[in-house]
């Protein structure tokens, strides 16, 4: 994977909504251009928009609209009811059913629209209901318009009967639109529209803009504009980095342009390689964990097989012990029977012998009987030994099974402990790295905020000082202008009185008035000495109500000569 530098992102043009999903931060750049601002603009989360907001004006308008729509709807329903109830009698309805005819026609419109809204809220819309409501709307308008005769005969009269039901239906449709928009706002599915001026000013790129916005669920138009600005800024930065030859850029650097048609932001596209690497590592770790678990299961299976073999061997040994015991017992019985037969024969022979011989034989028989008893005791001992051997074999088998189970559990515990320890160590290292990065970013942002706060405070203080100085200057200028106007008014009044006393002609009065205008303008602008700069011909024409510029020029010339001769009012 190629490590790339990230360009500065365009500033958002307005409130933005959350991006479609959280993305991992872009890789840390190896080198950055001067003045680089890292990272994309963070998504600004905001609460769901309210339909009317907290504006009292909007609340008042909504109440006014509700009352007005209800009033218009009630009037339209009443007029339609009266008209259709009366005409129903002429159309063949009975006196009992005629009053219910307009109720069935007009109420069906409300019922169909209400049911349509209910199904929309239940996420199971059925467009047939709205079509049926529109059909009944057309029907009631037609019925009302044609209730007074042919529509062509008196169109105005027909329109007067058909317009109120139409207004009633318009009010119901407005309510339906309001409820649907409110439901969309509550569900967070309300989507901004692309403004008409964008379609007119950029008709070639706007369809692609609209396609991306709709296909990938971007509901905010300012957010989509911000994404375009980021992409354009990134392309310009990449072109500047490679000196205008984008073919020199790596595939990872061209990812934002490649993935933009699929709804990816610049930050998401640049983060894709790292995300894919992390997912590959996660898959490798999962595969390794599965292999370890398979090894553990195989070890447990082998231990169970060995335990089963030992158990079978123990059962064989038990059977062999039982067979050996039964064989010894049968051999003892056979020996006893042989001994008894021999004793019987000996007894028969002893009866024929002498008493001494008989007594000797008797002693021999007694000895043989004792020997038989000893053999029976030996057989019993053999049986007891076989039983003890069987018990010992069962004990050995149980001990072997316990040892194997303990060994398997110990191995499984060691494997699991090792895996958990490795995973915990990796998570600890990852959390430590993230903590360090977050702390560094927090310190950087804090320093930047403090710097901007200090600069903004200084700018505000300078602006306040400039405003105060401007206010003082304006007040001084206003006061000076007022004093100048007062003095000019006093001079004008005294001059008029003097002219009245002297009984001057109108032309002389006009020349003197122009001279006073020149003196007043010169007092306001002492740096200027030219009369044509101080008082223009247009000002003279307006002050003396003279239409000819030539006459005004003559007045100004005579006024200058009069001032030169020493005239002062």
Residues in contact with 396: Cβ distance below 8 Å, sequence separation at least 6, in sequence order: 314
What is the b/e burial string over 454-477, where b = at least 16 CB atoms within 10 angstroms of the residue's CB? eeeeeeeeeeeeeeeeeeeeeeee
Position 171 scores a pLDDT of: 73
- Asked whether the beta carbons of 124 and 141 are under 8 A apart, the reply is no
Position 533 scores a pLDDT of: 65
- What is the percent of the chain where pLDDT is above 70? 75
Position 30 scores a pLDDT of: 37
Question: Rounded mean pLDDT of 334-338?
Answer: 70
Helix (H, G, I), strand (E, B) or coil at 7: coil
Per residue in 360-371, pLDDT (tens digit) is: 566 666 777 777
Cα–Cα distances in Å, from 510 out to 486, 546, 557? Answer: 21, 10, 12
- Asked whether the beta carbons of 147 and 134 are under 8 A apart, the reply is no
- Asked whether the beta carbons of 44 and 16 are under 8 A apart, the reply is yes
Helix (H) or strand (E) holding 324: helix 266-352
Position 364 scores a pLDDT of: 66
Whether residue 521 is predicted with pLDDT greater than 90 in this model: the reply is: no
Which segment, 43-47, 178-182, 310-314, is predicted with the most confidence on average? Answer: 310-314
Angstrom distance (rounded) from CA 98 to CA 90:
9
Alpha-helical (H) ranges within 191-265 are: 196-201, 206-215, 221-241, 255-259
Longest CA–CA separation in the chain, Å: 214
Residue whose entry in the numeric block shows the structure tokens 């002609």: 505
Question: Rounded mean pLDDT of 536-549?
Answer: 82
Angstrom distance (rounded) from CA 25 to CA 265:
12
- Asked whether the beta carbons of 15 and 45 are under 8 A apart, the reply is no
Alpha-helical (H) ranges within 242-265 are: 255-259
Position 286 scores a pLDDT of: 92
Per residue in 367-399, pLDDT (tens digit) is: 777 777 777 776 776 677 667 767 766 777 776
- The two tokens of residue 59 are 């609340």
Per residue in 250-287, pLDDT (tens digit) is: 888 888 888 888 878 888 888 888 888 899 889 999 99
Cα–Cα distances in Å, from 248 out to 20, 28, 238, 435? Answer: 31, 21, 10, 36
Position 287 scores a pLDDT of: 92
CA 555 to chain centroid? 79
CA 533 to chain centroid? 68
Angstrom distance (rounded) from CA 73 to CA 82:
14
pLDDT band, residue 417 (cuts 50/70/90): low
Which segment, 17-31, 99-113, 318-332, is predicted with the most confidence on average? Answer: 99-113
Cα–Cα distances in Å, from 4 out to 38, 228, 238, 241? Answer: 12, 21, 10, 11
Whether residue 296 is predicted with pLDDT greater than 90 in this model: the reply is: yes
pTM: 0.33
**DSSP letters for 17-65:** PPPSS--PPPPPPSS--TT---SPPPP---PPPPSSTT-HHHHHHHHHH
Whether residue 538 is predicted with pLDDT greater than 80 in this model: the reply is: yes
CA nearest neighbour of 34 among 8, 4, 3, 2: 8
Per residue in 47-60, pLDDT (tens digit) is: 445 544 557 887 88
What's the N-to-C CA distance of the chain in angstroms?
93
Helix (H, G, I), strand (E, B) or coil at 226: helix
Per residue in 122-158, pLDDT (tens digit) is: 878 888 888 888 888 888 888 877 777 677 666 777 7
Residue whose entry in the numeric block shows the structure tokens 């057309």: 138
More confidently predicted of 512 and 569: 512
- Asked whether the beta carbons of 511 and 551 are under 8 A apart, the reply is no
- The two tokens of residue 136 are 């009944």
Angstrom distance (rounded) from CA 73 to CA 171:
6
Whether residue 229 is predicted with pLDDT greater than 80 in this model: the reply is: yes
Q: Among 281-290, 291-300, 554-563, whose mean pLDDT is lowest? A: 554-563
- Asked whether the beta carbons of 537 and 556 are under 8 A apart, the reply is yes
- Asked whether the beta carbons of 110 and 73 are under 8 A apart, the reply is no
Angstrom distance (rounded) from CA 461 to CA 456:
9
Angstrom distance (rounded) from CA 114 to CA 107:
10
pLDDT band, residue 407 (cuts 50/70/90): low
Position 22 scores a pLDDT of: 40
- What is the percent of the chain where pLDDT is above 90? 4
- The two tokens of residue 276 are 């894919």
Per residue in 418-429, pLDDT (tens digit) is: 667 677 777 777
Position 209 scores a pLDDT of: 83
The DSSP symbol for 254 reads T
φ and ψ at 411, to 5 degrees? Answer: -65, -45
The DSSP symbol for 193 reads P
What is the b/e burial string over 170-189, where b = at least 16 CB atoms within 10 angstroms of the residue's CB? ebbbebbeebbeeeeeeeee
Please count the CA atoms within 13 angstroms of the CA of 11 that sit on its side-chain side. 2
């Amino acid at each position: 994977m190629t490590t790339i530098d990230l360009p500065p992102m365009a500033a958002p043009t307005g409130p933005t909504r959350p991006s479609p999903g959280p993305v991992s931060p872009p890789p840390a750049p190896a080198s950055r251009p001067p003045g680089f601002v890292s990272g994309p603009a963070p998504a600004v989360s905001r609460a769901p928009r309210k339909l009317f907001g907290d504006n009292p004006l909007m609340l008042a308008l909504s109440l006014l609209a509700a009352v007005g729509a209800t009033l218009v709807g009630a009037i339209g329903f009443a007029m339609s009811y009266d008209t259709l109830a009366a005409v129903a009698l002429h159309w063949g309805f009975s006196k009992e059913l005629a009053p219910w005819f307009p109720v069935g026609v007009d109420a069906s419109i409300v019922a169909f629209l209400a049911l349509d809204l209910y199904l929309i809220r239940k996420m199971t819309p059925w467009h047939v209901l709205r079509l049926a409501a529109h059909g009944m709307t057309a029907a009631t308008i037609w019925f009302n318009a044609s209730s007074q005769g042919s529509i062509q005969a008196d169109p105005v009269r027909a329109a007067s009967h058909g317009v109120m039901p139409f207004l009633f239906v318009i009010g119901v449709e407005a309510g339906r639109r309001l409820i649907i928009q409110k439901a969309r706002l509550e569900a967070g599915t309300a989507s901004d529209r692309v403004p008409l001026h964008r379609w007119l000013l950029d008709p070639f790129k706007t369809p692609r803009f609209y396609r991306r916005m709709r296909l990938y669920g971007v509901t905010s138009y300012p957010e989509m504009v911000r994404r375009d600005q980021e992409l354009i800024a990134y392309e310009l930065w990449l072109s500047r980095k490679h000196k205008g030859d984008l073919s020199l850029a790596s595939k990872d650097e061209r990812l934002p342009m490649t993935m933009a048609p699929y709804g990816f932001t610049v930050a998401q596209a640049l983060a894709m390689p790292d995300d894919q690497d992390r997912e590959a590592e996660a898959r490798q770790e999962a595969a390794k964990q599965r292999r370890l678990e398979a090894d553990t299961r195989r070890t447990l299976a082998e231990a169970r097989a060995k335990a089963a073999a030992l158990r079978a061997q123990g059962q064989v040994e038990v059977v062999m012990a039982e067979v050996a015991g039964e064989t010894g017992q049968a051999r003892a019985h056979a020996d006893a029977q042989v001994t008894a037969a021999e004793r019987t024969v000996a007894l028969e022979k002893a009866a024929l012998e002498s008493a001494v011989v008989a007594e000797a034989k008797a002693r021999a028989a007694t000895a043989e009987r004792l020997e038989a008893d000893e053999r029976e005791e030996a057989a019993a001992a053999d049986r007891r030994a076989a039983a003890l051997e069987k018990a010992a074999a069962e004990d050995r088998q149980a001990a072997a099974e316990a040892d194997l189970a303990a060994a398997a559990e110990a191995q499984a515990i060691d494997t699991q402990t090792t895996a958990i320890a490795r995973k915990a160590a990796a998570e600890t290292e990852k959390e430590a790295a993230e903590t360090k990065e977050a702390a560094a970013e927090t310190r950087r942002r804090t320093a930047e905020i403090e710097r901007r706060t200090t600069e903004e405070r200084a700018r505000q203080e300078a602006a306040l000082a400039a405003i105060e100085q401007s206010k003082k200057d304006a007040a001084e200028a206003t006061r000076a202008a007022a004093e100048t106007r007062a003095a000019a008014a006093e001079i004008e009044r005294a001059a008029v009185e003097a002219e009245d006393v002297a009984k001057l002609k109108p032309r002389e009065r006009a020349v003197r008035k122009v001279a006073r205008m020149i003196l007043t303008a010169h007092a306001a602008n002492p740096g200027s000495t030219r009369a044509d700069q101080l008082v223009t011909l247009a000002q003279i024409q307006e002050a003396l109500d003279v239409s000819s510029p030539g006459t005004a020029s003559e007045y100004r010339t005579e006024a200058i000569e009069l001032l030169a001769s020493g005239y002062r009012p």
